Amino acid sequence: MPKQPDAPASELAEFGYKQELNRTLSTTDLIVYGLVFMVPIAPWAIFGVVFNEAKGMVPLVYIIGLVAMIFTALSYAQMSKAFPIAGSVYSYVGRALHPVLGFFAGWTILLDYLLVPTLLYVFAAESMSGIFPGVPKPLWIIVFLVINTAVNYVGISFTAIVNRLFLAAELVFVVIFVIMAVVAISRGTDGAAFTTAPLFNADLFTPQLAAAALSIAVLSFLGFDGIATLSEEAKGGRRSAGIAMISGLVLVAIFFVTQTWLAAMLVPGRTEFGEDEANNAFFGLVGQISGSGWMVAFLAMNALAVGIANAVAAQSATSRLLFSMSRDGRLPRFLAHIDPKSKAPQRAILLVAGLTLVLGLVFVGQIDVISTLVNFGALTSFLLLHVSVIGYYAVKRRSKNVFLHWVSPILGFLIIGFVLYNADASAKIGGVIWLGVGALVLLYYTRKGTGVLEEHAADPFTTAESGSSLEADRA
């Protein structure tokens, strides 16, 4: 069986596209991008809140989250192998099921991708205001936005360098915390002791707690899916994005579990923080075992990781999704423009920056409202993703891989469906309104003219019948 090329221009031609983006990212770059998007130090900001919900079993929450989200990661890996193009779930659902469903998959995750940068800037502004209370929060949003837009505007190669630098900085702080925590626990500071109780406490564990933990855990891992939007910039072949998504998910879970396990051991016998204490519980623990200087340093690292590194990754993903939908004629065509020098979708990047600026200034101080809408967008698109795996592989290709193409997507669908069903009512209302707007957008562009995907509407599997796709499916 002849070896197929990894991801040349001819492969994109099968799907009706030409190579426009800069294909320079290695699989390692994709893993780094995914880690930065998910933020290895993410538990710092929400440790106290999750601690209260989980009765002290915070690491258990992240273990549950890893198990729950691995099914979605497997579905992404399967579809990114079949359709190695930039549109992520928009392209997967559109080509595996139907262009209209693909549009709605893209439209719902666009809600996630447009609001994630906004949420990150608001988070970062809140953190920086704790360090510099005299500086207005909107000013921090503008500062972070300008930096991140400049990084993305230069091109994906520079973005990859920035990602590596910030990931290295975050991991240095993780190591510092691990050392400080292990020393404090070994010395028995404030009664701290090594124990497995934070991993699982049979006396406190209940099915209701597990259900609540599932919702928290699934939402904590959002971001790994952004790797799929960089498929046309990866040079590692069809499997590259899938390998990066699964690897990134497992690695970030290890970081989450390690940090929260150690942090929970620093508060022995406690299952709850006070309402005011919970918001900054992790940073309080750092100050308790090291001093106020380190606490400020950790607060600053958290703000920079969220406000710059995480937001850079989110802006990259959003601009690539806009690029993909616009070149198919689903959004304004000018967003599909690629700068000849940077090989980046600079117009899409600038649009994301403009929208984020407006949204950030409007929603500053309203983290809960943004979070609920972000969750609806991501979870709804994940449901369609799982259906597309079954439709493409199990039904159309008649795959004999029962686990990957039947069991895994069904389990993933049920898990995501459960979380979405139990989501906040305001998230569902806002999500339905967003879908209504999407229906109007789809109607407008459908009447205006046909796009690339319409060529496959009669048989959305046409492109996959080519030789290289058949080889990819069998591999």
379-417 pLDDT, tens per residue?
999 999 999 999 999 999 999 999 999 999 999 999 999
Least confident of 68-77, 293-302, 322-331, 452-461: 452-461
Closest CA to 46 of 363, 282, 295: 282
Q: In which band, very low, low, confident or very high, does the pLDDT at 452 lie, cut at 50, 70 and 90?
A: low
Q: In which band, very low, low, confident or very high, does the pLDDT at 89 lie, cut at 50, 70 and 90?
A: very high
pLDDT for the residue 219: 77
Least confident of 73-82, 161-170, 426-435: 426-435
Name the residue with higher pLDDT: 6 or 284: 284
Could you report the per-residue pLDDT of 256-273, keeping only the tens digit for each? 999 999 999 999 988 899
Is residue 147 pLDDT above 90, yes or no? yes
Q: In which band, very low, low, confident or very high, does the pLDDT at 454 lie, cut at 50, 70 and 90?
A: low
Look at the block and give the residue holding tokens 């936005």: 145
Average pLDDT over residues 351-356: 92
Q: pTM above 0.85?
A: yes
pLDDT for the residue 403: 97
Q: In which band, very low, low, confident or very high, does the pLDDT at 449 lie, cut at 50, 70 and 90?
A: low
Token pair listed for 435: 């879908």
Is residue 10 pLDDT above 50, yes or no? yes
Average pLDDT over residues 125-137: 85
pLDDT for the residue 474: 40
Could you report the per-residue pLDDT of 43-87, keeping only the tens digit for each? 998 899 899 989 999 999 999 999 999 999 999 999 999 999 998
Least confident of 210-214, 221-225, 361-365, 423-427: 361-365
* Residue-wise burial string across 62-91, b where 16 or more C-beta atoms lie within 10 A, e elsewhere: bbbbbebbbbbbbbbbbbbbbbbbbbbbbb
Average pLDDT over residues 276-303: 91
Q: In which band, very low, low, confident or very high, does the pLDDT at 149 lie, cut at 50, 70 and 90?
A: very high
Is residue 5 pLDDT above 60, yes or no? no
Identity of residue 21: L
Is residue 475 pLDDT above 70, yes or no? no
- The whole-angstrom separation of Cα 66 and Cα 87 is 25
Burial class from Cβ neighbours inside 10 Å (0-12, 13-18, 19+) for residue 340 reads exposed
Average pLDDT over residues 99-124: 89
Q: In which band, very low, low, confident or very high, does the pLDDT at 374 lie, cut at 50, 70 and 90?
A: confident
pLDDT for the residue 466: 39
Q: In which band, very low, low, confident or very high, does the pLDDT at 166 lie, cut at 50, 70 and 90?
A: very high
Is residue 249 pLDDT above 80, yes or no? yes
Which structural domains are found in the chain, ordered by start? 23-85+113-366 (1.20.1740.10)
Q: What are phi and psi of 405, to 5 degrees?
A: -110, 0
pLDDT for the residue 13: 82
Count CA atoms closer than 13 A to 335's CA, side-chain side. 20
Q: In which band, very low, low, confident or very high, does the pLDDT at 11 lie, cut at 50, 70 and 90?
A: confident
Is residue 464 pLDDT above 80, yes or no? no
Is residue 471 pLDDT above 60, yes or no? no
Q: Report whether 363 contacts 114 (CB < 8 A).
A: no
Q: Report whether 53 contacts 211 (CB < 8 A).
A: no
pLDDT for the residue 411: 97
**Per-chain mean pLDDT for the chain:** 88
pLDDT for the residue 451: 54
- The whole-angstrom separation of Cα 202 and Cα 15 is 52
